[in-house]
Amino acid sequence: MTRFRIKQINRIISVSVVMILLNAGIINAQTMNVEADYNNKQYHLFNPAPRQALRPLAPEPHPFTTDPGWFQLEFDPINYTRNRDGSERTRAYEVPVLLKIGLLENVDFHIGADAFVWERTRDRAANEVERDRGFGDLTLGSKINIWGNDGGDSALAVNPFAVLPTARHDMGPGGVEGGLLIPTFWAVSEQWELEFTPSIAAVRNADDDGYVAELGQLSVLSTGLTAETAWFAEFESIITAESGQSWEPVAATGVTWDISEDTVVETGVGFGLNSATDDMNVFMTVVQRF
């Protein structure tokens, strides 16, 4: 498993879910998040929020939605993974890309993919080398902020998702996967912030002939270093209901740099904490608003 699965699947379904919620009155475009309401206007895809109302940028996952009428591109120019499992040595490089579109003041739409995947596995005992490369899986999704989108000490959103099996069969699951992320945020103090993202999903089993439940969580603790930079530490764990599958814990640390109000770069390194996870992952994520 390459870099944090919770981050990878955060790109995901549900225009239909959004429309159901709108029709049911759960999301009311006339009453959502009036903090960004300038001159008594409500903003949406075709009436973009003004620049002075834009929210700060950050790599996914987080509970804050893309501003209505604006786009965000998130991609990893560097995402390298190394793993050793018995006699096998695996090296992988991928370029995940995520496009987010602000629909309403607390609803956005996501579409993303592993635009390029390269993997090399060498079995030293058998003296064999296997290489795979190509386009990865496609993801669709929608984030719906429940509270805290434009200020406050806490925030929460729901993010239903689905992963479509567009990769070659040996490079991804053999069927659609999907579930729900619940990204949350707390301002612990003036210096420290905590984000916690639990998730539940239906994923393909080890034999790729059915589905099992998967539970995950991603915790991120961060603090500012300067006006433009922050340090973060992450811990992610994944466990499935399938018999014989191990718990998968990963720890990571790095730095986030606000280059401008429209560009953010995050760099870091992650380490697997048991034999079920990749040994090391080096990554750089760029977020660009336009």
Residue 44: pLDDT over 50? yes
Please tell me the pTM assigned to this model: 0.85
* pLDDT the model gives residue 99: 98
Whole-number pLDDT of residue 37 = 46
Q: Which of 55, 80, 162 has its CA nearest to residue 113?
A: 162
Three-state secondary-structure class, residue 55: coil
At 153-202, the pLDDT tens digits run 999 999 999 999 998 767 777 799 999 999 999 999 999 999 999 999 99
Tokens of 259: 């280059």
C-alpha closest to that of 173 among 3, 9, 7: 9
| Local confidence band at 5 (pLDDT 50, 70, 90 cut-offs) | low
What is the structure's pLDDT at 24?
44
DSSP state of 54: P
Q: How far apart are the C-alpha atoms of 117 and 112, rounded to whole Å? A: 14
Residue identified by tokens 């270093």 is 225
Question: Is CATH 2.130.10.10 what the domain over 5-289 is classified as, yes or no?
Answer: no
Distance between CA atoms of 80 and 269, rounded to whole angstroms? 10
- Measured CA to CA, the distance from residue 12 to residue 159 in angstroms comes to 8
Residue 43 has pLDDT above 80, yes or no: yes
The predicted structure's pLDDT at residue 207: 87
The 10s digit of each residue's pLDDT in 220-267 is 999 999 999 999 999 999 999 998 888 999 999 999 999 999 999 999
**Average pLDDT estimate for 216-223:** 98
Q: Which residues, other chains included, contact 248 with Cβ-Cβ below 8 Å and sequence gap of 6+?
A: 1, 237, 238, 239, 272, 274, 276, 277
pLDDT digits (tens, 9 = 90+) for 123-162: 988 889 999 999 999 999 999 999 999 989 999 999 999 9
Report pLDDT digits (tens) over 45-90.
999 999 999 999 999 999 999 999 999 999 999 999 999 998 999 9
Please state the domain extents for the chain: 5-289
Closest CA to 177 of 156, 160, 195, 152: 160
